[in-house]
Amino acid sequence: MTGPAPDSLQGLIDRARGRDEAAMEQLLSAHAQRLLESVRAELGERLRRRLESQDVMQQVYLDALRDIERFENRGDDAFFQWLRRIAINRICDADRRGFQAAKRRGEVRAADLGPDASMAGLIESIREPGARPSLGAGLGEEVALLERAMGQLSEEHRQVIELRYLRQLHVAETAARMERSERAVRSLCVRALIRLRELLGDAIAPR
């Protein structure tokens, strides 16, 4: 699917910078299929075994909404290329964390975290890109903060977070449970993660 016409692109960007979620969703939807194909290609066979393309997409959307003021419109394809750079950064971060976890496997394993393992994964989804993985000291405190923040979410935001990130269901399974379309679930995930980030503030900032 092609992006919005050049004469409407800047208008959508201006609205998105004003935190207009409808404008941002229109911008992202216009590039969704092409970006998904790019993400799948960047992941390759090795990373696809442990990373969901749709999870990367959700992180890209979350980062794009947060950083939209940094985007510079330099041409018809500029917005897609900006999204693609965000996706590549996210994939590289995930690959780096996986490599570091493999090196630490004899010292700190996700299995050692018990019931906190899925919460740790959710924390890493919210944390700013490039932050140190929270598999060591401070995780317990971060989990407690996250649990309190979860209690302040709306019912639908809490449900989609629990299904997608804590129970780790696929988008299709989550959509079936919530009786929504997959597109609605992806959009709801982004909004829920944004709200969690707002509630947590600097509590899970890079250290």
> Mean pLDDT by 10-residue block, N- to C-terminus, for the chain (207 residues)?
62 87 86 88 72 83 87 84 87 66 44 48 66 48 81 90 81 85 86 84 57
pTM for this entry: 0.55
Closest CA to 3 of 66, 81, 117, 105: 81
What is the structure's pLDDT at 63?
87
For the CA atoms of 142, 188, 191, 39, the dihedral, rounded to the nearest 10 degrees, stands at 90
140 vs 137: CA distance, rounded Å: 8
100 vs 44: CA distance, rounded Å: 19
Contact between 142 and 148 (Cβ < 8 Å):
no
Burial class (CB in 10 A: 0-12, 13-18, 19+), 59: buried
Q: Under CATH, which number does the domain 109-207 receive?
A: 1.10.10.10
Start-end ranges of CATH 1.10.10.10 in the chain?
A: 109-207
What is the structure's pLDDT at 82?
92
Region class of 52: left (phi > 0), else alpha (psi between -120 and 50), else beta: beta
1-107 CATH pick, 1.10.1740.10, 2.40.100.10, 1.20.120.1630, 3.30.70.1230: 1.10.1740.10
User: 9: how many CB neighbours lie within 10 A of its CB?
Assistant: 18
What is the structure's pLDDT at 96?
64
Start-end ranges of CATH 1.10.1740.10 in the chain?
A: 1-107
User: What angle do the packed helices 53-67 and 21-48 form, to 10 degrees?
Assistant: 140
